[in-house]
Amino acid sequence: MYIHKSVLKNEAIEALNIKEDGIYVDATTGGGGHSKEILKRLTTGHLYCFDQDSYAFLRSKEVLDPVGSNYTFIKANFKDLKKELESRGVNKIDGILYDLGVSSFQFDIPERGFSYNYDAPLDMRMNQEQALDAKTIVNTWDFNDLLRIFTRYGEDPNSKQIARAIERERIKKPIETTFELVNVIKSALPQKVLNKKGHPAKQIFQALRIAVNDELRVFEVSINDALDMLNPKGRAVVITFHSLEDRICKTVFKERSTVDIPKGVPVIGVEAPFELISHKPIVASEEELAENNRAHSAKMRVLEKR
């Protein structure tokens, strides 16, 4: 059994300001930790749980069934949130939660290929039915594309050397496992970098995971659709785990909560359609940080429909 600890769980549930008769969406159900707390607070309301991972469906069902039956699991990428909800007759919602971290069980099940700590096939697919995986990217994408994702998604200062090393090694034989990739990455780095704290493959593995699952683009599409569906006083709560996700969230929330008035035009009483509930990101408490190492990089932002 793989244990998943939901990050900022209490803070997220409080931020959603749940009404017992409301319609809520957990866009990233994972192990069901946040969904369970939402479901506990609903009576005549309903919860829609999205996840494209088949294992997440099994895990969350075990967690949610003892709490209540007024939930619907939707096995789909949250980029299709609007389409999937509308097909079920849902056009407006009272709140939505995104926890953009990779579920602990995805990291902790070696064969999923997300982690540099286990030797496993290079995979990293959240939806295991899709064709594109990390092995395909590593072995078939050209140097410029590898450099682009390592630089943009991994923000690794050694992206060029690592991309070149991959290009050289895959000519000899395909790079098929996580440890093979780790060794190639290490071979491209100077000793002073290898001696630094932290795993030398962390940023490259992050970049590959984002590229495999197209995480940044689908989040931007999804959060904009979700905001369009919010009822008045409805809230969007987003928990991010790295700067690229947080930048998208911050930008979208700022755009939606700001009225663009030309300079010099006198306007009275005009309000933006949304209001920032958290002007600064909410972070984990010292107590949670001590219990859950994965909470260190978490940032939570909250937006409310006026």
- Beta carbons within 10 angstroms of residue 199's beta carbon: 15
Do residue 26 and residue 41 come from a single domain? yes
What 3-state DSSP class applies to 209? Answer: helix
Do residue 143 and residue 232 come from a single domain? no
- Domain contains 76: yes
Q: How confident is the model at residue 278 (pLDDT cuts 50, 70, 90)?
A: confident
63: nearest Cα among 27, 37, 43, 42: 37
- Beta carbons within 10 angstroms of residue 201's beta carbon: 24
- Domain contains 4: no
Do residue 135 and residue 93 come from a single domain? no
Q: Report, as an integer, the average pLDDT of 284-306.
A: 90
Do residue 247 and residue 172 come from a single domain? no
Quote the pLDDT of residue 179: 97
Residue 174 structural domain: 109-213
pLDDT of 261 strictly over 70: no
Return the CA Rg of the chain: 21
Q: Using a cut of 0.85, tell me whether the model's pTM lies above it.
A: yes
Quote the pLDDT of residue 75: 95
- Domain contains 3: no
In percent, how much of the chain has pLDDT > 70?
93
Do residue 31 and residue 99 come from a single domain? yes
How many whole angstroms separate alpha carbon 67 and alpha carbon 176? 42
Q: Report, as an integer, the average pLDDT of 238-266.
A: 86
How many whole angstroms separate alpha carbon 255 and alpha carbon 250? 9
Q: Report, as an integer, the average pLDDT of 18-24.
A: 98
- Domain limit, last residue, from 213, 230, 255: 213
- Domain limit, last residue, from 213, 239, 265: 213
Do residue 115 and residue 97 come from a single domain? no
Higher pLDDT, residue 260 or 241 = 241
Q: Could you tell me how many residues make up the chain?
A: 306
- Domain limit, last residue, from 169, 185, 213: 213
Quote the pLDDT of residue 123: 95
Do residue 250 and residue 289 come from a single domain? yes
pLDDT of 109 strictly over 80: no
How many whole angstroms separate alpha carbon 183 and alpha carbon 243? 27
Q: How confident is the model at residue 54 (pLDDT cuts 50, 70, 90)?
A: confident
Q: Report, as an integer, the average pLDDT of 154-179.
A: 97
Per the structure, the count of domains in the chain is 2
CATH code of 266's domain: 3.40.50.150
Do residue 63 and residue 115 come from a single domain? no
Do residue 97 and residue 53 come from a single domain? yes
Quote the pLDDT of residue 142: 97
Q: How confident is the model at residue 55 (pLDDT cuts 50, 70, 90)?
A: confident
Six token digits for residue 142: 């050209």
The pLDDT tens digits of the residues spanning 207-235 come to: 999 999 999 999 999 999 999 999 999 99
| Mean of the per-residue pLDDT values of the chain | 92
Do residue 244 and residue 101 come from a single domain? yes
CATH code of 175's domain: 1.10.150.170
Taking the alpha carbons of 57, 63, 69, 71 in that order, is the dihedral positive or negative? negative
Cβ atoms of 219 and 98 closer than 8 Å: yes
Do residue 220 and residue 286 come from a single domain? yes
- Domain contains 18: yes
Q: How confident is the model at residue 105 (pLDDT cuts 50, 70, 90)?
A: low
State in Å, rounded, how far the first CA of the chain is from the last one.
43
Do residue 221 and residue 100 come from a single domain? yes
126: nearest Cα among 33, 29, 201: 29
Quote the pLDDT of residue 1: 43
Quote the pLDDT of residue 104: 59
- Domain contains 2: no
